[in-house]
């Protein structure tokens, strides 16, 4: 059996690479770690600390293809709603049994769950 330490990265397609990178870098303070062109698409790997996103451009992407949502645990959880309001980012909140989450959507329609407690307290 292999032991998992953490999620290494999330890899997904976006309609507009530059717009998506700007969204994640401005909202989460991520930085471009690598960029290039795969045989099928330009890409950028962005990240911060232990979170890395590998983003590939696919201009004809249809909402609902691929990833349903992904979750990020946020250290300054109490500031999320205030920050979303300041940046005019639509969001909604949900109370789980052991944790609280705020959900936002990126420019490609991907839902991002921002959690108060790592793993929802599982």
pLDDT in tens, 56-74: 999 998 877 767 688 888 8
Evaluate if pTM is beyond 0.85: no
**pLDDT given for residue 82 in this prediction:** 92
C-alpha distances (whole Å) from 72 to each of 2, 41, 75 are 23, 26, 10
| All structural domains of the chain | 8-60 (3.10.180.10), 68-122 (3.10.180.10)
Please report the pLDDT score of residue 4 as a whole number: 67
For the chain, 122 residues long, the average pLDDT of each consecutive 10-residue run is 71 93 94 91 91 90 76 87 91 88 90 84 68
pLDDT computed for residue 110 by the predictor = 87
Sign of CA pseudo-dihedral 37, 38, 43, 48: negative
The confidence score (pLDDT) of residue 118 equals 80
Distance, CA of 22 to CA of 43 (rounded, Å): 13
Q: What are phi and psi of 54, to 5 degrees?
A: -105, 110
């Amino acid at each position: 059996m292999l032991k998992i330490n953490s999620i290494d990265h999330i890899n997904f397609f976006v309609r507009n690479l530059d717009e998506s990178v700007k969204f994640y870098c401005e909202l989460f303070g991520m930085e471009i770690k690598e960029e290039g062109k795969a045989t099928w698409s330009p890409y950028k790997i962005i990240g911060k600390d232990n979170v890395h996103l590998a983003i590939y451009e696919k201009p004809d992407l249809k909402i609902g293809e691929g990833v349903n949502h992904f979750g990020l645990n946020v250290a300054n959880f109490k500031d999320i709603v205030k920050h979303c309001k300041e940046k005019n980012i639509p969001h909604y909140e949900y109370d789980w049994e052991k944790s609280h989450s705020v959900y936002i959507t990126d420019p490609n329609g991907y839902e991002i769950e921002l959690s108060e407690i790592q793993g929802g307290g599982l």
